[in-house]
Amino acid sequence: MAKNNEIIDKTIDASGMGVPIEGFFDKEKRYGLTPLDHKVLTESDSKLMEWSKRFLLISIGLGLTSLSKLIWFLYQFKKADDVQKQELKIDIENWELIYLAIGLGLSLILFLLSLTKLGNSDRKKLMKKIKKYFDGE
């Protein structure tokens, strides 16, 4: 057996000493993260953020449709003569622009709300639980 302050440079078998080995060498406190907790941390967004993304994607779709109509108008305008230019009109309806503005506005509002306490997601709840664990409360 080693004496106090003696350096041991050999492996010691502690299995017969009745000391639980699991966690014995851990110097830091560990949090038992379940697979569900891991999924919540890596993949979850608040419901407000999910709706914000949905409105944004819908608005992008409508925006691309309106942009393609504008590009087609500019293409026809460029190749038309003066008489034809006067007859050309953009095929973008007013409701499309209003819809686009409302969709982008809702997306922005929901995104900003998701950053506040209203956007309290499962991820935030789990992070509070882990923080409480490590703070020792």
This prediction has a pTM of 0.58
For residue 29, the model assigns a pLDDT of: 64
What is the average pLDDT across 78-83? 88
Return mean pLDDT, the chain: 81
CA 132 to CA 42: how far, in whole Å?
Answer: 19
DSSP 49: H
Q: What distances in angstroms separate CA 18 from CA 12, 13, 15, 22, one per listed residue?
A: 14, 11, 7, 12
Q: Where are the domains of the chain?
A: 32-135
